[in-house]
Structure 1
Amino acid sequence: MANRASKHPPAADGPTLVDAEVHAETFRHVREAHRSELIEDYVELISDLITDGGEARQVDIAARLGVAQPTVAKMLKRLVKSGLAQQRPYRGIFLTEAGERLAAESRERHRTVEHFLLALGVDADTARRDAEGIEHHVSEATLAVFADFVKRSQDKR
């Protein structure tokens, strides 16, 4: 899909609309990122809980995400159905290899975005919170630029 400009000249006070097809593709990309965002957050948290305390329990996931346990139960069923997690009665939740891989990828994206924001001078608390949302919507190409920027800013020190 070519990036075609709008048929109208740009307004002096703001951007012009891009071609409808390009616009629609952008929103499709955002919707897909929203769909995968929750899954990525869950598998990353499950992995972190297992690493930190040896297990991931539904009650702990609910507390850390600030949601009700039935909400967690519904998502865990979705993760199991997707082949990302396994549930064992009275034993908590475990990630499959695919789930661990997705958690590691998500964690690395988060770190890259957070380090980029810190390198720009954003305070640590804000960088942590903002990275949580940005990590799901940033392309691999943009992540690579972020990582390169962080590396160059560290090399200058």
Structure 2
Amino acid sequence: MSKEPSDFHTFTGYRLTSSQELTPAMEDYLEMIYRLYHQQVKIRIGDLSRHLNVQPSSTTKIVQRLKQFGYVDFEKYGEITLTDKGMSEGKYLLYRHEILHHFLCVLNHSNDELEQVEKIEHFMDRKTILQIEKLTLFLENHHDYDQ
């Protein structure tokens, strides 16, 4: 089925028509908070900044936005904690990351595709991630698949 010219948008246009409240940057921060939470690490702005290789001022701004949307609880100079909403979304973001990483490693016969995953993970919906997971399992189990 062909799309009409008026159905197409620029990347920014698609982003603006999306109902998604998290930006790609916010997703990265939330995913890392979720990772650190599962390592049972007390999460503070400085620690999060170091793990993401960003400035503490940038981290503070994003964490404040995450708090505004109900994903984390945070007080200045305090610990960052996940709300139930943040826990649920963080779990999905880590799952999405792991599925894409596994898929690209299988596809490219490699052990590390982190950079590619970081570049593309924000642009795939849940249905696509589920289908990629199924495809990855198929590729792994298909004995005729070669390089």
TM interval, shorter chain, is 0.7 to 0.9
Correspondence 1:24 to 2:23: no
Do the aligned residues in 1 keep the contact of 2:35 with 2:94 (CA within 8 Å)?
no
Q: How much has 1:156 moved relative to structure 2?
A: 3.0
SS for the counterpart of 1:107 is: helix
Take 1:97 and 1:50, find their aligned partners in 2: how far apart are those partners?
13
> Does the C-alpha gap of structure 1 residues 34 and 122 become closer, same or farther in structure 2, counting only changes over 3 Å?
farther
Confirm whether residue 153 of structure 1 aligns to residue 116 of structure 2: no
Q: Do the aligned residues in 2 keep the contact of 1:3 with 1:22 (CA within 8 Å)?
A: no
Would the alpha carbon gap of residues 144 and 82 (structure 1) be closer, same or farther in structure 2, given more than 3 Å must change? Answer: same
Number of residues of Structure 1 aligned to a counterpart in Structure 2: 141
Q: Matches of 1:129 and 1:112 in 2, distance apart?
A: 14
Q: 1:97 to 1:124 in 2, by over 3 A?
A: same
Q: TM-score, normalised by structure 2?
A: 0.81
- How far residue 129 of structure 1 moved from its aligned partner, in angstroms, is 1.8
Pairwise mapping of residues 36-51 of structure 1 onto structure 2 (< 5 A)? 36-51=23-38
* Partner in structure 2 of residue 132 of structure 1: 118
Question: Percent identity between the aligned chains?
Answer: 22
Larger radius of gyration: 1
Q: Cα RMSD (Å) of the superposition?
A: 2.5
Maintained 8 Å contact 1:34/1:136? no
Whether the 8 Å CA contact 2:100–2:132 is kept in 1: the answer is: yes
Structure 1: distance between partners of 2:35 and 2:121: 17
Write the distance in 2 (CA, Å) between the matches of 1:34 and 1:99.
13
- Unmatched segments (≥5 aa) in structure 2: none
